[in-house]
Chain A
Amino acid sequence: MRSVTRKLAMTSAVAAASLGAVMASVGTASADPTVTPAATDIVSVGSDTIQSFDNGLSVAYNATSPASKYYSWDATPAGNIVPKTGAATIARPNGSSAGISTLNSTTHTTVDIARSSRGPKTGTADWFIPFAVDGVGWSAYTGGHAPANLTSAELTGIYNCTYTTWNSLPSNPTSSTATIKVYLPQANSGTRSFFLQALGITATSEPCWQTATPEENEGTDAAFQSNPDAIFPYSLSHYVGQVYKGKGGGTDLPGALDANRSLDGVAQILTASQDWNSALSLTYTRNVYHVVRQADWSDPVQGPRLKALLDRAISNGWLCKNGASLITSYGFHTLGAACGTRTAGI
Chain B
Amino acid sequence: MHEMSIALSIVDAVESKAREEGAGSISGIELVIGKLAGIEPESLKFCFAAAAKGTLAEEALLVIEEPEGIGECGECGKRFPVSFYYAECPECRSLRVKIVSGEEFLIQSITIEEQEGE
Q: Do A and B bind each other?
A: no
